[in-house]
């Protein structure tokens, strides 16, 4: 691929929790600004690729482990995952680093996002062609709250918990007999915008080593299609309510360098439709001669777009049809 790509990807979360911290609440900076990590955006993409039969290395998979205490279900190690994907009996017996590198580039997540692979005498680092920033919530009035959930099961340890809480031994009462309470933490509404860039030259050295054909236009088209749909398709309990809402793709000459475009995105809550304003119109118009294409994907049913980028093509993010 003989071009660079810069852009922004947006995710809406309505009564959902896009990316929680260890407390269960949406992640925030030290100043209280809500954000989502790049891992949160990549994970639905990896799941979609895996469901489509692609090789995905860096994703959780399980196996049974048997010891004197019985059989347990545990996550596979990176070594085990590699051996499973590439039908390798024992990675320790593979002494050819070129074969290991070639296999790594066959994994679609490695081809896009890179890898750190330190297993069985291999110490390989691949800086991905696709790099993401953190996704900051642009909706100022976002609120997070906790929903109590009634479990269909009684907690057999409720008596013990109650005794510890009271500081004395307690008889089994209503607290132990009743169903236990859980909780679900969600944002009433949040709108995350991630910056990203794609630099196919990141793999120049690996192409020269003969372990990959580099980052191709086919790789880019696959990335774009998945990045625009994976969040909407990924409907777990906490992610139901999260949808792909925006995508900006700016294809440029290889020697053009653009700043973080997510910083130029403004979101406003409207009564009938929300408003997304792109304040990068002047910047992109000034580099038009070095720009090959500009594509903007958004949800026209809920969103109004305010932009003045010359030659930009607009698309429905769900149907992929040009507007």
CA 9 from centre of chain:
10
Q: Please, what's the b/e burial string for 192-218 (b: 16 or more CB within 10 A of its CB; e: otherwise)?
A: bbbbbbbbbebbeebeeeebbebbeee
- Tokens found for residue 104: 């790594």
Beta bridge partners of 130: 198
Is the distance from CB of 41 to CB of 135 less than 8 angstroms?
Answer: yes
Q: pLDDT digit of tens for each residue in the chain (323 aa)? A: 999 999 999 999 999 999 999 999 999 999 999 999 999 999 999 999 999 999 999 999 999 998 888 899 999 999 999 999 999 999 999 999 999 999 999 999 999 999 999 998 899 999 999 999 999 999 999 999 888 888 787 777 765 555 555 554 444 445 545 566 778 899 999 999 999 999 999 999 999 999 999 999 999 999 999 999 999 998 665 578 899 999 999 999 999 999 999 999 999 998 899 999 999 999 999 999 999 999 999 999 999 999 999 999 999 999 999 99
Please give the DSSP secondary-structure letter assigned to residue 177: H
**Token pair for 228:** 């625009």
Q: Which of 3, 8, 2, 1 is nearest to 283 (CA)?
A: 8
- Helix 217-227 to helix 38-51 angle (10° resolution) is 110
Closest C-alpha among 303, 134, 129 to residue 218: 129
Closest-CA residue to 319 (of 229, 227, 191): 229
Q: How far apart are alpha carbons 54 and 46 in whole angstroms?
A: 9
What stretch of H or E contains 205?
Answer: helix 204-209
Asked whether the whole model's pTM tops 0.75, one would answer yes
Q: What is the DSSP letter of 89?
A: S
């Amino acid at each position: 691929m003989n071009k660079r790509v810069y852009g922004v990807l947006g995710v809406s979360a309505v009564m959902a929790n896009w990316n929680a911290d260890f407390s269960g609440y949406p992640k925030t900076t030290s100043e209280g600004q809500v954000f989502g990590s790049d891992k949160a955006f990549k994970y639905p993409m990896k799941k979609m690729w895996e469901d489509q039969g692609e090789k995905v290395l860096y994703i959780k998979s399980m196996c049974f482990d048997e010891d004197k205490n019985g059989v347990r279900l545990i996550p596979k190690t990176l070594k085990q995952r590699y051996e499973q994907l590439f039908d390798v009996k024992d990675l320790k017996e593979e002494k050819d680093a070129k074969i290991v590198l070639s296999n790594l580039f066959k994994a679609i997540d490695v081809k896009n996002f890179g890898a750190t692979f330190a297993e069985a005498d291999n110490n390989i680092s691949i800086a991905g062609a696709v790099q993401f920033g953190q996704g900051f919530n642009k909706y100022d009035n976002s609120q997070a709250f906790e929903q109590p959930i009634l479990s269909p099961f009684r907690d057999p340890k409720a008596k013990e918990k109650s005794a510890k809480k009271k500081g004395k031994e307690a008889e089994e009462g209503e607290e132990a007999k009743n169903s236990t309470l859980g909780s679900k933490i969600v944002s009433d509404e949040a709108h995350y915008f991630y910056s990203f860039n794609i630099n196919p030259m990141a793999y120049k050295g690996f192409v020269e080593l003969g372990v990959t054909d580099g980052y191709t236009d086919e790789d880019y088209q696959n990335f774009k299609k998945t990045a625009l749909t994976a969040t909407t398709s990924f409907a777990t309990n906490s992610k139901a309510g999260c949808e792909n809402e925006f995508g900006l793709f700016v294809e440029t000459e290889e020697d053009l360098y653009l700043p973080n475009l997510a910083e130029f995105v403004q979101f406003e809550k409207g009564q009938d439709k929300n408003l997304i304003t792109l304040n990068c119109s002047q910047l992109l118009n000034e580099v038009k001669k070095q720009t090959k294409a500009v594509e903007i994907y958004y949800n026209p049913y809920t969103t109004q777009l305010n932009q003045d980028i010359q030659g930009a093509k607009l698309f429905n993010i769900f149907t992929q049809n040009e507007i």
